[in-house]
Amino acid sequence: MTNRRANAVMFGFDFQVNAAIVLMLDNMKELQAVKIESDNEDIELFLNNNECILAQAKAVQHSSYDFNNVRANLNKALKTLSEACSKTNVKKAIFITNSPNPFKDDDSRSAFYGHARRSFANIPPSAQKIITDYLHNIDVPLDTDKFVVHVLPFETDDEQERYKEIKRCIDDFIGDLGIMDCPGLGKKLMSVWQNSLFGDGTKANATIKLKKTDIVWPMIVFVTEVSNGMDFLDGLDLGLQEETIRQYSQLIDSMCERMEFFTRILYDYNDFKCNTNNADKCKKFIEQSWTNYLPYLDSTDLNSEVKETLIKLVLYNVIRRRFYIDNIKNGVGL
């Protein structure tokens, strides 16, 4: 027989991970870090000014027609959010669910059609009353001015259908950053973020968080991946090309201060004095400056020819995609 309890638990955790992606995208400018299964809530977003956003994630496997437990889910969420809000500096307390009828209330159901975010003030009166009745039974209830109901469509065993709203949110985010012409970027980011947040949520140590730089870094990697520098490699020996390509991703993945490395390259390039066009400036900068970055490869046992080519390829890709990198950093508030 199918273990329905296990299925429900895994479905709930899958929703929690993907809800965290949407919430972190909603708050990326202010975000410092995100934690699944924090000391305070299902999802905790750590913001600037020592504020945080707390979220209770409640999923229903058959959300389109099963409304039996939605009020119980709401009641539990209000209790835990109220308790957590009394312990920390909370900007928002969010009840995020995949139910299109989160109050089992015909009068308010239409307000939560599709992907909906509703503050308490913008929830229909009948739903407000359900919330206030539950809060009346809590010793220290949360501040309703901070309370938000967030309905995120998420259902079925078809992955394309289940994750389509998550993918749309990521694509919208990419579009706002101005990096839409990177094929498959949204799908790649969704996979990386899902895996990162899933791993974060399985760690017992609540102090381990996914930092903003960890979230943003995959975007930088994908827009500067080695395929974008193949024209730079055209004149190289085939064997050297293959070895350089093989080492490229390993180098990027192994760097401890990866964002700082790319930032240094861009700073050095902007500071480089050259009275020619950008194409010539890029070539001259690479030829005259590549040795400055050799310390980043000190721990490797690569031969000198591969090291030189590898550093030059990194410099080429970062400079060539510098506007994308700037768009990303400015867009996310880094």
Please tell me whether residues 45 and 133 are part of one structural domain: yes
- Using one digit for the tens of pLDDT, what is the confidence trace for 118-134? 999 999 999 999 999 99
Domain closes at, from 121, 156, 179:
179
Please tell me whether residues 165 and 235 are part of one structural domain: no
pLDDT for the residue 250: 67
Structure tokens at 87: 């312990």
Residue 2 has pLDDT above 60, yes or no: no
Domain closes at, from 149, 179, 209:
179
- Using one digit for the tens of pLDDT, what is the confidence trace for 200-248? 666 555 566 889 988 988 888 888 776 655 566 556 666 776 777 777 6
User: Which string of b and e fits 160-190 if b means at least 16 CB within 10 Å?
Assistant: eebbebbeebbbebbeebebeebeebbebbb
Structural domain tally of the chain? 2
- Structural domain includes residue 27: yes
pLDDT for the residue 252: 66
Please tell me whether residues 150 and 247 are part of one structural domain: no
- Using one digit for the tens of pLDDT, what is the confidence trace for 79-96? 999 999 998 999 999 999
- The neighbour count for residue 260, using CB atoms within 10 Å, is 11
Residue 97 has pLDDT above 90, yes or no: yes
The chain-wide mean pLDDT, for the chain, equals: 86
- Structural domain includes residue 206: no
- Using one digit for the tens of pLDDT, what is the confidence trace for 137-159? 999 999 999 999 999 999 988 88
- Structural domain includes residue 216: no
Alpha-carbon distance of 192 to 272, in angstroms, equals 35
Please tell me whether residues 151 and 290 are part of one structural domain: no
Radius of gyration of the chain (CA): 24
> In what order do the strands lie in the sheet containing 116-119?
116-119, 147-151, 90-97, 52-58, 43-47, 31-36, 210-211
Please tell me whether residues 175 and 286 are part of one structural domain: no
Please tell me whether residues 246 and 322 are part of one structural domain: yes
Contact status, residue 118 vs residue 95, Cβ threshold 8 Å: no
**Residue 141 pairs with which residues in a beta bridge?**
none
Please tell me whether residues 79 and 228 are part of one structural domain: no
pLDDT for the residue 141: 95
Of 198, 197, 230, nearest to 214 by C-alpha is 197
Please tell me whether residues 27 and 166 are part of one structural domain: yes
- Using one digit for the tens of pLDDT, what is the confidence trace for 277-329? 777 888 899 889 999 988 877 656 777 887 888 888 888 888 888 888 888 98
Please tell me whether residues 165 and 78 are part of one structural domain: yes
When comparing pLDDT for 314 and 181, which is higher?
314
- Structural domain includes residue 211: no
- Structural domain includes residue 17: yes
- Structural domain includes residue 124: yes
Alpha-carbon distance of 229 to 254, in angstroms, equals 20
Please tell me whether residues 173 and 230 are part of one structural domain: no
pLDDT for the residue 83: 94
Domain closes at, from 150, 179, 208:
179
Residue 54 has pLDDT above 70, yes or no: yes
- Structural domain includes residue 192: no
- Structural domain includes residue 198: no
Give the pLDDT band (50/70/90) at residue 7.
Answer: confident
Please tell me whether residues 174 and 262 are part of one structural domain: no
- The neighbour count for residue 242, using CB atoms within 10 Å, is 12
Please tell me whether residues 111 and 27 are part of one structural domain: yes
Range of the domain at 133: 4-179
Alpha-carbon distance of 44 to 142, in angstroms, equals 16
